Chains A and B, each alone.
Chain A
Amino acid sequence: MKKPSLFILAAVLSTAAWAQQENLGDTGGLASLRGVTPLQDTRPADDLKKFPREQALESDYVYQPPLIPHNIRNYEVSLNANKCLSCHSWKNAKEMGATKISVTHYVNREDAVLADMSPRRYFCLQCHVPQANAKPLVKNDFQRVDSLRQQ
């Protein structure tokens, strides 16, 4: 009668140990930005967020690089070509009905005003980005500065 009970005990112990090992990556039911998915699981990816073709976007603080209010699929900005400037440069803006780049873009880091766009401003997407149709993941109490707040 002694041997089977020993066997059962061993079985129970090893199952417990195994279960504990399985639990290693568990979040204990705690929800995070990735939901309640345990760490060891790969959850299906969210759908890609879409960029609206056109949208009106207001600035939130003074000197904010304005957001891009339109789609920029496949627009090339490289050593060879700058698609943004083909509409927004001072030369082309009027004809294309686009906003001119700001005068600040002609100033280099020594504050000297140049005859053409400053190289440090060339890669537009370092500061200007389109806004995808995505809700913030974390609650945010940010308020516009007074001067930009709409009545």
Chain B
Amino acid sequence: MKLIKAFWTKLKSPSKAALGIVLFMGFAGGLMFWGAFNMGMEATNTEEFCSGCHAPIVAEIQETIHYSNRSGVRAICSDCHVPHEWTDKIVRKVQASKELVFHFMGTIDTPEKFQERRAHLAEREWARLKANDSLECRNCHQFEYMDFSEQGSRSAKLHSTALANGEKTCVDCHKGIAHKLPDMHGVEGWQ
């Protein structure tokens, strides 16, 4: 009690050094908390982390444009599956914790079970991307900066119409851009 009181008087007395120390302690503490928090976030964003449970998907993606291309720019799992907005990120992480439960229930731990459930999971991703107007795609591909004269004629035709007028969003036309597709019977725009 006495100690705290002494510390308090010291704080109250206008000593520049003490104020500096307190400010520094607060700053350092905050920094450490921020760092540890972010490290956890970063660690769970790596491909190795996802491959622990999604090995077949991580293997599949290597043939696709977002894994290997002429410019060497990559999209990793978290670029498309975890929103970049900081708050959204936390919400998504909390939601993702339920995947742990499903993991121990073993909903996708054999190729057969995964095939069986894949359409359902894809459906959920499409719904999510449809609802946020393909936010994750647009984090990298910004419509305003698309040069139609540089695009193929098929691309330019549809981007300047259905995409430009907001009738459709990226995942409406680019399903399966990073993965093998599930059974597409009954999906709109497919067989």
Contacts and interface: CB of A to CB of B under 8 A. Distances in A.
Contacts, number: 45
A89 B184 CA distance: 14
B191 interface: yes
Closest 8 CB pairs of A and B: A81-B181, A81-B184, A80-B183, A53-B152, A80-B181, A85-B191, A54-B152, A86-B190
Interface stretch (A12-20, A69-77, A102-110): A69-77
Contact of B180 (A53, A76, A82, A89): A76
B189 interface: yes
A27 interface: no
Contacts of A81: 176, 181-184, 190-191
Contacts of B153: 54
Contact of B157 (A74, A80, A83, A97): A97
Contacts of B12: none
Interface of A: 53-54, 70-71, 73-74, 76, 78-83, 85-86, 89, 92, 96-98
B175 to A, nearest CB: 8
Contact count band on B: 10 to 19
B154 A92 contact: no
B65 A89 contact: no
Given A70-B152, A76-B176, A80-B180, A85 B190 contact: yes
Contacts of A86: 189-191
A73 B65 contact: yes
A73 B154 CA distance: 14
A70 B64 CA distance: 17
Nearest to A122: B191
Contacts of A53: 152
B189 A92 contact: yes
B158 interface: yes
B63 interface: yes
B70 to A, nearest CB: 11
Contacts of B65: 73-74
Contacts of B152: 53-54, 70-71
Contacts of B154: 54, 70, 97-98
Contact of A89 (B63, B158, B191): B191
B25 to A, nearest CB: 54
29 contacts: A54-B153, A54-B154, A70-B152, A73-B65, A74-B63, A74-B65, A76-B180, A76-B181, A78-B180, A79-B183, A80-B180, A80-B181, A80-B183, A80-B184, A81-B182, A81-B190, A82-B184, A82-B190, A82-B191, A83-B176, A85-B190, A86-B189, A86-B190, A86-B191, A89-B191, A92-B189, A97-B157, A97-B158, A98-B154
Contacts of A76: 176, 180-181
Contacts of B158: 96-97
Contacts of B182: 80-81
